[in-house]
């Protein structure tokens, strides 16, 4: 089994090293990831400037490639250039992200976008995130990912679908209560722009803001994490609202 691994935290992030080491026990791994932090990069790709690639060695000795582009760039480049058309991956794994990708986070997430790019290329793909705060222990999430990869290879995935996985980061004495198959919950942020002035007197802005504490819907990924369960959400990236098709045909548009 050939496994392409990427992320949005950067090629030297501890989460990618942990999952690469775990997946190395079940297949041949290829690590192609951004050369720096690219969180919230979404599904952007690089069109108007060149990509640079630098070979790296992860702390566990696994060879990796740092790419100057986005997570989606990395998956495209990894499939086409690092592995090659005759050696396509059997599965794409993105992560392990340091922090959650729940609810509407998936619209911005570079972690999820890397997995979606794999699915666009016709390859089963999963995105994995660890919910919590530093310091992170990726051990259990990495072990679960290896189990899930084997299940995906055994059972397959529908076309244009990725699995978005969130694993609760536990405090000492806590245990994971199990795994739930979930929907995306509702997650909103109260956005604020912090205005500052640089040494030359020019204004600049930092996007800030706090998560709004919404009541988690039953069966959602947010509820599962709050109750110390691993969340596995199947995502389909056909954005068509089919319920509105017939209504729109009744509009006077010609």
Q: Binding site for a divalent metal cation: which residues?
A: 8-9, 39, 97
Closest CA relative to residue 64, chosen from 89, 29, 36, 32: 32
Return all residues near 165 (Cβ < 8 A) that are at least 6 apart: 95, 126, 127, 128, 129, 144, 145, 148, 230, 231, 232, 233
Residue appearing with tokens 């530093």: 134
Binding residue ranges: 8-9, 39, 97
Transcribe 229-249 into DSSP letters. -EEEEEEE-----GGGHHHHH
Transcribe 4-16 into DSSP letters. EEE-SS-TT-HHH
């Amino acid at each position: 089994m050939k496994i392409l691994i990427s992320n949005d935290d950067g090629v030297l992030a501890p989460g990618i090293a942990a999952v690469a080491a775990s997946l190395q026990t079940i297949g041949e791994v290829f690590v192609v990831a951004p050369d720096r932090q690219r969180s919230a990069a979404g599904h952007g790709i690089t069109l108007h400037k060149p990509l640079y690639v630098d070979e790296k060695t992860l702390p566990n000795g696994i060879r990796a490639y740092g790419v100057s582009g986005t997570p989606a760039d990395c998956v495209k480049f990894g499939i086409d250039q690092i592995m090659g058309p005759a050696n396509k991956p059997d599965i794409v794994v993105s992560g392990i992200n340091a922090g959650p990708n729940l609810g509407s986070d998936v619209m911005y997430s570079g972690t999820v976008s890397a997995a979606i790019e794999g699915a666009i290329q016709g390859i089963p793909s999963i995105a994995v995130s660890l919910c919590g705060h530093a310091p992170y222990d990726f051990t259990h999430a990495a072990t679960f990912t290896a189990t899930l990869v084997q299940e995906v290879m055994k059972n397959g995935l529908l076309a244009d679908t990725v699995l978005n996985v969130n694993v609760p980061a536990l405090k000492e004495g806590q245990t994971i209560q199990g795994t739930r198959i979930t929907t995306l919950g509702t997650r909103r942020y109260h956005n604020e722009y912090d205005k500052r002035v640089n040494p030359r007197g020019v204004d600049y802005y930092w996007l800030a803001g706090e998560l709004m504490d919404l009541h988690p819907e039953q069966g959602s990924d947010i509820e599962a994490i709050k109750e110390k369960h691993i969340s596995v959400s199947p995502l389909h990236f056909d954005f068509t609202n089919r319920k509105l098709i017939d209504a729109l045909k009744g509009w006077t548009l010609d």
